[in-house]
Structure 1
Amino acid sequence: MQKVYVLHENMDWTRHLIKRLEELAVPYQEWDLSEGFVDLAVEPPEGIFYNRMSASSHTRGNRFAPELTDQVLSWLEAHGRTVINGTDALALEVSKLKQYLALNKVGIETPKTIGAVGLDQIIKAAEKLNEWPFIIKHNRAGKGLGVKLIYTIDELKAYINGPEFEASIDGISLIQQYIQSTNGRIVRAEFIGGEFFYTVEVDSSDGFELCPADNCQLPDESTIELNGQPAKFEIQENLLSADEIEQYRQFMQESNVQVAALEFIRDQSGKLYTYDVNTNTNYNPEAEQRANQYAMLQLATYLKEVAEEDE
């Protein structure tokens, strides 16, 4: 069996996978690319390389980790190594505009979106979109950071000129059509090895920071059911039709992405809009325990199969 190399910048989001690899006796090595170098005169080691670089790395002080990872992945691919979620996946991870173009290419509906650089251009983009209310968000983000619902042009002007506004790390703000769901919940469709694994319904009524990882949850934000209220994260069946699953599979195949969560919302008429592709997907442990479905175990199993096939 080949060794599995896990490329990342955040051990808090990687340790669960490492635990599952150890359970399955998969030889592994984790590569922390929060900093480092790539020597083009040296060949990379033999093995399977799984990329878990996150678009939100800058929020943990790792500003240039995606840029370094892009060079490392290019080096690996140039030497013919087996890379899972390679340069194509990373390009989508760090740009929502590129995500939407790739989704639209296979006929998947996304909210109307305009990218803008500069405060004046943000205002012009909102006027051009002419959808009220609308969402302003970062082009390169993660964890739902920087997402705000705006109701009027005056509110937008006050926001972008005020102390709360923070530009996307790549300078591109997205002005996006707001899609209102019937129940205030969005859905993450998890795919592993290009195959559908499960859908998890997420309560977005308290805001848009919807990272499912255990270390993203506040102590008083328990995901278990309290006082008769539904859990914030709940794995549910029958939230996607067979045709919708197949369309997502086609997107992943054509985009050369092997592991991802696709986030979507249905409007009042039941129409599905996909608004985020997370190629560094995390899973909520409490929701998985209730459903007895474990995505990190499935992911480790997939990596083991690839490592065995690539011997």
Structure 2
Amino acid sequence: MKKIHIIHENNEWTRHLTARLDELQLPYEEWFLDQGIVNLSEEPPEGIYYNRISASSHTRNHRFAPELTESVLSWLERHGRTVLNGSRALRLEVSKVNQYMALNASGIKTPKTIAAVGKKQIIEAAEKLSETSFITKHNRAGKGLGVRLFHSVEALKAYVDSDDFEEPLDGTTLIQQYIESPDASITRCEFIGGKFVYAVKVDTSKGFELCPADVCQVDDLFCPSGEREEKPKFQIRDGYSDAIIQRYEAFLQENGIDVAGIEFIEDQEGTKYTYDVNTNTNYNRDAEVEYGRYGMLELAKHLGQRLNRV
């Protein structure tokens, strides 16, 4: 029987989707790819395949999940199986350098960025960038891991030479222009089937942990009962419309990406800088309850439609 095959390495991020698939009574099977084998001499099962492997898999001790998944996707695509977020999407997921080059090729503006391998080269890159303030981030990270803000090259030197320095998984550190948002926020645009679903405003005033999944919310978003409530970290921007949406949709089509969350930040002049493409996108429950639209439900419906075409 043909079914929906979900390729992933994180049950916490996938159970919301499988609950919706159960709700819609759609047949599915999970492929948990932290370890495994790929028999290249056999044909893959019938159905469609949805890839949810994340760049942050190594933080869950699933170091080689992306490499194993790349082999699986190559096998699936060789046999003509329908794959949502296939090999090209995976390559962009695990490399911000690849993301930025693909975004630029589609005419989408990204912050000035220099990639560096080696501690000495990180310092040289910051000097070349010639920005008063800049951030560092890992080329392969996820969830905002490894992101640090610096206001001088001297501060960066002190960090790089300290025990706090985080070596990137692939050895590549990005030194990037710091874009200051007037209201300390970014916008994340969600797409399913390559089409815009909604945009979320994310408060960044307390740091760079921007994963919208409920499990990623380390701190409570509200004050304790009886105290004044703070504004939620994630708020859906009702009726959001902008020309960048069409550029994002074209970018997704050009790169074979079916499901994604794309993040941008606006500076004080209103210029938008796109800095992250999440092909393993998640959704925030509280924001969706307030808005009355649910990403995982829309995704489950889309997977059902794609399955019916096979």
TM-score range, shorter chain: over 0.9
What is the letter of the counterpart of residue 228 of structure 2?
N
* Distance 1:38-1:217 versus aligned 2 partners, 3 A rule: same
Q: Could you say which residue in structure 1 is the equivalent of 2:147?
A: 147
User: What is the percent sequence identity of the aligned residues?
Assistant: 58
Query: Aligned equivalents of 1:238 and 1:97: distance in 2?
Result: 32
Alpha-carbon deviation of 1:37? Answer: 1.0
SS of aligned partner of 2:244: helix
Whether 2:191 is the aligned partner of 1:185: answer no
Which structure 2 residues correspond to residues 4-83 of structure 1 after superposition, within 5 A? 4-83=4-83
AA in 2 matched with 1:284: N
C-alpha contact (below 8 Å) 2:147/2:208 kept by paired residues: yes
C-alpha distance in 1 between matches for 2:132 and 2:291 = 38
Distance in 2 between residues matched to 1:224 and 1:210, nearest whole Å: 22
Task: State the alpha-carbon separation in 1 of the partners of residues 12 and 153 from structure 2.
Answer: 40
What is the aligned partner in structure 2 of residue 231 from structure 1?
A: 232
Residues 242-276 of structure 1: per-residue CA shift (max 9 Å, x gap): x2111000000001100000000000011111000
Q: Distance in 2 between matches of 1:64 and 1:176?
A: 27
Q: Secondary structure, in 3 states, of the residue corresponding to 1:187?
A: strand
For residues 64 and 241 of structure 2, the distance between their equivalents in structure 1, rounded to whole angstroms, comes to 36
On the 8 A contact 2:17/2:300 being kept in 1, the answer is yes
How far residue 43 of structure 1 moved from its aligned partner, in angstroms, is 1.0
Change (3 A) 1:222 1:55: farther
Report the number of matched residues: 309
Which structure 2 residues correspond to residues 126-275 of structure 1 after superposition, within 5 A?
Answer: 126-222=126-222, 227-241=228-242, 243-275=243-275
**Unmatched 5+ stretches in structure 1:** none
SS in 1 for 2:232: coil
SS at match of 2:200: strand
Question: Partners in 2 of 1:182 and 1:262 — Cα distance?
Answer: 20
**Aligned mates of 1:240, 1:9 — CA distance in 2:** 34
Measure the CA separation in 1 of the matches of 2:149 and 2:256: 32
Runs of 4+ in 1 over 3 A off after TM superposition: 221-226
Per the normalisation by structure 1, the TM-score is 0.97
Whole-angstrom CA distance in 2 between matches of 1:291 and 1:152: 41
TM (norm. structure 2) is 0.97
Are the equivalent residues in 2 in contact too, given 1:187–1:199 (CA < 8 A)? Answer: yes
* Residue identity in the other structure for 1:101: M
Q: Counterpart in 2 of 1:86?
A: 86
Matched residues in 2 for 1:239 and 1:297: separation?
20
The alignment partner of 2:71 has SS state of: helix
Alpha-carbon distance in structure 2 between the residues aligned to 1:102 and 1:238 = 28
